[in-house]
Structure 1
Amino acid sequence: MRQVLIAAAAALSVGAFVAPAFAGEAGDVRAEIRSGVNWQDGQAAKGTIGGAIGYDYNLPGGAFIGVEQAIDKTLVSRANAVGSTSARFGIHATPKDKLYVISGYSYGSSYQDGAHLGGGVEHSFGPYYGKVEYRHIFNGNDSNQNNQVLVGAGIKF
């Protein structure tokens, strides 16, 4: 529980400092809830639920770059919440669709600690959005790698 509170406080802190720093800039502060599945090689998939806050800054030519702080909890007893700090880079494939790659570090549980790399697609519905994302966590144990597929819904400020 202590790890959940620490990660939640860190996520809120990122949003509190990122949003004013970019106020009036060409980008979006965003907050989302998400759910999905985690699985390790050779093991059954387990459900997960969590949330994230982030900021995307629009670059010239239809590209964007962003930062994200997230926390996710696998839905099994005694599972620790896992925090992640990520950067994402992508393109506006259409005025409402973003395609991106995401990379960063996941922490908080020994089997999910490590660098992560993945990609996703995000679709806007006015100030709201939905997204689907895949991540692979390189935890240093080649025989037991971790994967996530997440579906999220959020709002842009």
Structure 2
Amino acid sequence: MRLVLISLAASLVAATPALANEARVEARGGIMWNSSDSEELAGVAAGYDFDLGETAFAGGEVSADKLLTDGTQVTFGFAARAGAKLGDAGKLYAIGGYNTENCDGCEGAWSVGAGYQHSFGKFYAKAEYRHFFPEQAGFTDTDAALVGLGVKF
């Protein structure tokens, strides 16, 4: 009986996440703009994507980004993304989430956007657009374009 249980456990371990479920970490940068100003930003992100069959996926992401200007602080983001797998290497996705405040006296912002991620073996590159809706009255909506380079696990 013990041999049967060990064999069953070994086959389950061998058959699991060899699928495309994957953890990832990345460095990223880009530009954020509104109707009156634009600023560069840099950051890091980590996430995990779950397969939803052969052609779809969904996942979560946490991030830390900083506008590269005086008077701002690191903003922490919490997002979900879902999309389609395009071939063996591409992912087209929609993303949405919440970011904490990026300056004293500011409030956080909700965001929605879209992106494309392309794998090169264990590594990947991505491009993403997001639109931010600030919670604080009197602050204008903001847009961001990001590019990232990362590694998958």
Of the two, which has the highest radius of gyration?
A: 2
Report Cα offsets for 1:94-139 as digits up to 9, x if no partner.
2111000001101132556121100000000000000000011111
Gap regions ≥5 residues in structure 1: 1-21
Partners of 2:101 and 2:140 in 1: CA distance? 17
Find the partner of 1:101 among 91, 94, 99. Answer: 94
Provide runs of 4+ in structure 1 moved above 2 Å. 22-26, 108-112, 140-143
| Secondary structure at 1:57 match in 2 | strand
Amino acid at match of 1:39: W
Partners of 1:117 and 1:142 in 2: CA distance? 20
Amino acid at match of 2:56: A
1:112/1:136 CA distance change after superposition, 3 Å: farther
1:36/1:87 CA distance change after superposition, 3 Å: same
Report Cα offsets for 1:66-117 as digits up to 9, x if no partner.
0000010000112111111000000012211100000110113255612110
Larger relative helix fraction: 1
TM-aligned CA deviation for residue 145 of structure 1: 0.9
TM (normalized to structure 1)? Answer: 0.79
Could you tell me which residue of structure 1 aligns to residue 77 of structure 2? 84
1:25/1:124 CA distance change after superposition, 3 Å: closer
| Secondary structure at 2:36 match in 1 | coil
The answer to whether the 8 A contact 1:50-1:70 is kept is yes
Residue 33 (structure 2) pairs with residue 35 (structure 1): no
| Secondary structure at 2:71 match in 1 | coil
Gap regions ≥5 residues in structure 2: 1-15
1:111/1:37 CA distance change after superposition, 3 Å: farther
Could you tell me which residue of structure 1 aligns to residue 43 of structure 2? 50
Count of residue pairs the alignment pairs up: 135
